[in-house]
Amino acid sequence: MSTPSLEPVRKTIALFGGTFNPVHFGHLRMALELKEVLGFDEMRLLPSHQPAHRVEPGVTARARSEMLALALERCPELQLDERELQREGPTYTVDTLETLRAELGDEVSISFCMGLDSLLGLPGWHRWEQLIELAHLVVVTRPGWQLPLQGEVADLLSAHRGEAEDLKRSAAGRILLREQTLLPISATGIRSLIASGRSPQYLLPERVLDYIQTHQLYKSENQENL
């Protein structure tokens, strides 16, 4: 990779990846708050095709992405980025960031947002050491988690830990830890409510719920939907 620019960056773009199976208010609030509080120019939600480090979910990638598009229809603050759905085979974050960096150049700041639980598992990710060369990492800490004191993640943190302003000063290379309250909603919880015949209303946008009902998704936890 070429040397990152030392000038202030031209633009700040954040990515919030996930399976979004289905998208819910926890995801949407988190993305919106990060965008507003950290002042990103763009916040893109990035549905994963075949999560390389997770079991392939039963609902097609297309359906997950359509639900996300419905959820974002009335929110101009958040964008949908479908690039991982256009790739064949497993999705590796490092490949996505490489493509994006090649597209945007070295004067755009890219921040990849993740939970602390993901940061702790980072050494298991494909070419994980290169992630920090390509983007900043914005790590949302959840109550109850402790930062590691030793090991590869502790070393990464002590070499790269930065502050919010760094995301506007450089294109990549810093880790920002941000404490944020999470709504107690999970996609797993929503899927099991539906599978047991209960309603997930008020946990996710109405339009997404309509889509789930129309397409009869998540009726049975073991069923391959669509």
37 binds ligand ATP (CB under 6 A): no
**Residue 161 CB, nearest approach to ligand ATP (Å):** 19
Of 95-103, 153-161, 182-190, 209-217, which part binds ligand ATP (CB under 6 A)? Answer: 182-190
Helix (H, G, I), strand (E, B) or coil at 42: strand
187 binds ligand ATP (CB under 6 A): yes
**Residue 117 CB, nearest approach to ligand ATP (Å):** 7
185 binds ligand ATP (CB under 6 A): yes
Which of 4, 115, 148, 173 is the binder for ligand ATP (CB under 6 A)? 115
From CA 69, how far away is CA 74, in angstroms rounded? 10
**Residue 187 CB, nearest approach to ligand ATP (Å):** 3
**Residue 86 CB, nearest approach to ligand ATP (Å):** 19
Beta bridge partners of 46: 17
Helix (H, G, I), strand (E, B) or coil at 11: strand
Site residues (vs ligand ATP, CB under 6 A) = 18-21, 26-27, 30, 114-115, 182-183, 185-188
